[in-house]
Structures are given as C-alpha cells and as structure tokens.
Structure 1
Amino acid sequence: MEETGVRDPMPHDHHHDHHHGLDPESGDRRVFVAIAVNFLLTFVQIVAGVISGSLALVADAIHNLSDALSLVIAFAARKIARRPADEKMTFGYGRAEVVAALINYTVLIVIAFYLAVEGINRLLDPPQVQGWLVVVVAAVALVIDAVTALLIFRMSKDSVNMRAAFLHNLMDALGSVAVIIGGTLILLYDWRLVDPIVTLMIAGYILWHTAREIGPVIRILMLASPGSPTVEDAIASMEECPDVVEIHHLHLWQMGEHEISLEAHVVLAPGAAAAPVKAALKTLLADRFGIRHSVLEMESAADRCVDAKPVGHA
C-alpha cells in the first residue's frame, strides 16, 4: 500500500487581489480608508438620529457601525490569511477569511433582529421625527456608503471575506435610500409611521441577503464538498482512467473559497504500476476539475480495503 502526498505541480495563489490587478498592500490601503470614513459617518449619524428622534437614522447608524467593524475584521483576516503554513497551522491560515465572513454575517443577523424588534415597538408608538435632518444625514451616508462599496468592490469578487464586508456596505447604501424616502414622506405628509416601516424593511433586507450568503461559508467550515465537481463526477472520472479498478474512501472538500482538496483510495488493475497511474490521476484532477491538492493511496487486489464505501470511511 502506497500513500503519496506529492506537492502540487502548480502553486496555489491565495492572494486573490492579484486576479484583478490589485496587490494585497493596495487592497489593505483601500480597506483602511473605508474603515476610517465609516467610523466618521457612524458618529455623525448617531448624533443626528438622537437630535432628530429618527429611529431609522439611528438604525442606519448602528448598521453603519457594523460596517466599520466588519471592515476591521475583514482587514485583520486578510493580514492573517497571508501567513505561510507553519508547525501550528500545517494547512496555513487561509481560512481566517472564511471565519471572518461567518462572524460578519452572524453580526448582521443579530442587528437585523434587534432592528425588527425596535421597529415593531415604534409602530405601536410612533415618535416625532425631524424629517429634514433625516434626509440630509442619510444623503451624506449614501454618498459615503457608495464610496466605501466602490473601494472594496473589486476585492469582493474573489474573497468571501471581502464579499461579506461589501454586502454590509451595499445594504447600508440601500438602507440610506430607504431612509431618505421615509424622511421625505415625513416632511411632505407628516407620516410618522414611515420611520418604523423603513426600519423593518431594512431589517428584512439584511436577513434576506445574509441567509443567502451564510450557507456557503458554513459549508466550507464544515468541510463540505463543493458544488462542482460533485463526488459522483470525481469518482466516475477517476475510474475512467486506465488501470483503475475502483475508487473508494473518497473525501472531497474545500480548504478555502478557491481551493479544492481530494483524497481517495485507488484500487489498481493486476500488474499495473502505481506511479504512472497516480501521475495520470493527478493530471486528470488538475486539468478537469482544478484540484491541485490530492492525496491518493494506491491499493492492489490483494491489499484492497474490505467492504469499502465509495465516500468516507467504513
């Protein structure tokens, strides 16, 4: 029985900013600027919300504070993820960004439920709101949220960590639009119920988006198989390889957002040489599925596993 852990023929690229011509240091600077402007905006919104009596504006400020904190977490995770593998973390630190995304999405869910409860309370007892101040500050918030979203948009394409931070800011920008509409209606018609209604809309929108994005993050942390390739596709393709009789004990999982790993037991045909078959399988996995980290245990008919399952252990 032969177990191999041959190094990948092609190096992994964990610095995904490079995919869009943005080096990690430049990306870090963008995130730092976004953090600074979001903290400043949060302070202005909270003061204005307290003065005006607008829960929707305070809600937007709290959400914006979560944006700033999410960017802090994302910034730290980016730094940690670039550390090389060592004796304590033999797989490296790349999953720091996945953990950061989970934290940010969880915070969004908590905030959304808090806003929903406060919005319901305000529906029962609508307060007096100074619409003009709400509109002015929300308009400023919209500009800053849009700038922040643009700063990190390119990085969000290839990083679940930055995508979580981007969604924070995108939803905050949309929330600011809703607040502006609500403040305008208060100015025109003195319709105070619009403030808690807008708050509930923001909360619902946050929950909807978060529910869509948090699932893939949890799947990565749970070592789930990727959507593509499927386990069935991987086994079928490997068993098509000459001199391969059977594939069993297969594990297929995502080490990170862009890195798929595979390990499996390979039963060889009688008289087949292990090394050429192993090389052919690794080439097949890399070319067809982009799997460049595979561990294959070669077995003969004499020492093959008994009653082996195609997936997992017996």
Structure 2
Amino acid sequence: MSDRNTPHEHGHGHGHGHGRLRTLLVRATHSHDSADRTDTALESSSQGMRVLGVSFAVLMVTAAAQAVIVALSGSVALLGDTLHNVADALTAVPLAIAFSLGRRAATRRFTYGYGRAEDLAGIVIVVVIALSAALAGYEAVRRLLAPENVQALGWVAVAGVVGFLGNEWVARYRIRVGRQIGSAALVADGLHARTDGFTSLAVLLSAGGAALGWRLADPVVGLLITAAICFVLRDAAREIYHRLMDAVDPALIEQAERIVGTVEGVRRVGSIRLRWVGHALRAEVDIVVGHELSLVRAHAVAVETEHRLIHELPRLRAATVHTDPDGPRGVDHHAVLSGHRGLAGGRVSLSTASRRRRSGRRS
C-alpha cells in the first residue's frame, strides 16, 4: 500500500490528524518542524548576511590601508593588489542578493523557493576568480617583459602582510560559516578571498626580491601565484559544479539509510535521494513496510521516518516519503510504471529490486 498525504499537523505526542488522502503515496509535514525549519532557514541566511557584512568591512579597511601606501610608494603591484581586494569585497554583493532572495517564500512558479540563487551567485564568484587569475597572469608577464623598480620597499612589504592577513581572516571566516550553513557559494567566495591573500604575499615576496637587487622577483613570483590561484579556481569551480549537478556527500546518504533503517515499521530502505536547495537539504525516500498494514498505519510509519530524518540529518528541511508494500509474494505493485522508471535517473521499483534480492538468495 503506497500513499502520500497532504500536509498535516501533529504535536510531539505523535497523534496524527489525517486530512484527505490522495493517490497511493504518503507525504507528511509536521507543523512544529515546519516552524523549526523556517527559523533555521532564516538563521542561516542571517548568518550569511552577517559574514558578508563583516568581511566586506574588513576588506575595505584593508584596501584603504594599502591605498595609503600606494600613494607613498607608487607601487603598481600594490595598486593592483589593492584594486583586487576592492573587487573581492564587492563579490559580497551577488551573495547578499542571493541570501536575500533565499528568504522569500516559495511560489506556484518557484515551488522550491529561491535557494538556488546561491548557486547562481557561486557562478559569478567563480568567474571573478578566473578573471583574477587572468589579470594576475597578465601583470606578471607584462612585468617580466618590462621590469619596473619599486620604491619604499619596506612599506610595500608591510602592505603585503596587511593584505594577506586581512584576506586570510576573511577566507577562514567565510569558509567556516559557509560549510556550517551548507552554502557552497559562500565557501567559493572564501576561496576567492584566499587567492587575494596569495596575491598580497606576491607583493611581499616581490618586495623582498627587489630589495636584494633581483628586478625579476616581482613577475616571477607573480607567475607562481597565478598558478596557485588556478588551483583555487579549480576547487571553487568543482564545488559549484557539484552543487549545480545536485551532488551530495555519499556519507550523507549512508547516514540517512542508517536513520531510516532504525524506524519501527520499516522493513527495508529503498532509494534515498538528497539535493541541495541553497544551503538546505531536501530528501526523497522510498521505504518498504508490511503489506498487511492499514493505510493509516503505513502513513504513520512514513510520518515517523520524515520526523527522524529532519531531526537527525544535518541541514535537512523536508523529506518526501514513499511507502511500498512488502508482498504478497509475486505481486509487482509498480507494473504500470515499469516502462517509465528507467527514465527517472536510474530508479528501480522496490518491488522489482526485492524480487531480485530474493532470487539472489535462492540461487
């Protein structure tokens, strides 16, 4: 018996008020969990906005300090690093827009809400990192062909250290909170800040080399830093690509399987799918229950399955639970769908899968 209910409410005592049942699928939503999920979503977005505001301020202060030294030294390399830090601070703009959009309620057109705006912001950030790498490489080659002397090397070195420290602090802050709230875009932006820190170190190292009389120190170090930026670009692009392709950590699937497998009434765990919508997870779960269970009892098992998943799987906001009956022997409850299941991302009906497992045990 496979059924899904329209959203309903229940308290922690697990008394279930059942609304009108539709088709043969079970869908359960808890009123108290919905409130918790909304609060969590708003808190995550608030954390993201807080990170963006603080990091923007830190980077602008860093750039301002470097600008003063640019005026004193006339260092073109430091000027480039200063402008780079300003650009990095401005990447907070698309992310702030994304976090603001993510707070908007779902509509009949955008039924999952606006959380994926973060992924679009992530694409913008990856493009900015790529442009940074291209600019750094161009400047390094230009200086290699036409070396330039740098004045006030001591102050330039200090500015390089200030730039590195400011960017590294921002990078750690963004990456830590981004991973905490599950925002790939914020993590990518943190990696971008780290590339700017490398650029600042290039200024420091080039100043040291110039102080030793090596005029090519600036462009050679710049080329090495460009290569380092390309590695960071690869990591950021891979992070966003995985998010756009709905990739999740396989460990999360294994954790979800363990959680579902411990729910009373679940005989077997079928397919489990997870996807990110912004910095929140959504799940689709197939479970096998006894075919002798009543519709109400099968529904209760599905409700408890979602309840456990929401409370025990990090950053999960909602789960759609589908129940399949275990038996009677020889009955295929999904026969009418047999010609369509192959199109659904490789999903195999549980009744078919269970028959395969039983035939494998007999052989």
Q: Could you tell me the TM-score, scaled by structure 2's length? A: 0.68
CA RMSD of aligned residues (A): 3.7
- Choose the corresponding residue for 1:163, options 154, 165, 187: 187
Name stretches of at least 5 consecutive residues in structure 1 with no aligned partner. none
- Choose the corresponding residue for 1:110, options 131, 139, 143: 131
Change (3 A) 1:118 1:265: same
Counterparts of 1:114 and 1:152, CA distance in 2: 20
Which residue in the other structure is 2:206 paired with? 182
| Structure 1, 289-298 or 139-148: larger mean CA deviation | 139-148
Deviation by residue 1:116-142 (Cα, 9 ceiling, x = unmatched): 24424543x242222426x53453354
Change (3 A) 1:251 1:170: closer
Which residue in the other structure is 2:347 paired with? 313
1:149 deviates by 5.4
- Choose the corresponding residue for 2:246, options 207, 220, 223: 223
In structure 2, give the amino acid aligned to 1:304. Answer: H
Which residue in the other structure is 1:255 paired with? 277
In structure 1, give the amino acid aligned to 2:292. Answer: G
Counterparts of 2:139 and 2:334, CA distance in 1: 60
Count of residue correspondences: 303
Which residue in the other structure is 1:130 paired with? 150
Which residue in the other structure is 1:69 paired with? 90
Query: Are the counterparts in 2 of residues 109 and 210 from structure 1 also a CA contact under 8 Å?
Result: yes
| Structure 1, 268-277 or 299-308: larger mean CA deviation | 299-308
Deviation by residue 1:199-231 (Cα, 9 ceiling, x = unmatched): 11221221222322332332222112334323x
1:278 deviates by 0.9
Which residue in the other structure is 1:278 paired with? 302
Change (3 A) 1:28 1:119: closer
Trace 1:1-314 onto structure 2 (pairs within 5 A).
Answer: 1-3=2-4, 4-8=26-30, 9-10=32-33, 11-12=36-37, 13-16=40-43, 27=51, 29-34=53-58, 36-37=60-61, 40=64, 51-52=74-75, 54=76, 56-123=77-144, 125-132=145-152, 136-137=155-156, 139-140=158-159, 142-143=161-162, 146-147=165-166, 150=169, 153-154=172-173, 156-159=175-178, 160-189=184-213, 191-230=214-253, 234-235=256-257, 238-239=260-261, 241-248=263-270, 250-257=272-279, 259-272=280-293, 273-290=297-314, 291-300=316-325, 301=327, 304-306=333-335, 312-313=346-347
Query: Are the counterparts in 2 of residues 95 and 255 from structure 1 also a CA contact under 8 Å?
Result: yes
| Structure 1, 1-10 or 303-312: larger mean CA deviation | 303-312
**Identical pairs, percent:** 22
Query: Are the counterparts in 1 of residues 260 and 305 from structure 2 also a CA contact under 8 Å?
Result: yes
In structure 2, give the amino acid aligned to 1:128. Answer: E
Structure having the higher Rg = 2
Query: Are the counterparts in 1 of residues 140 and 222 from structure 2 also a CA contact under 8 Å?
Result: yes
1:83 deviates by 2.7
Deviation by residue 1:266-296 (Cα, 9 ceiling, x = unmatched): 3331212312321332244235434441101
Change (3 A) 1:305 1:138: farther
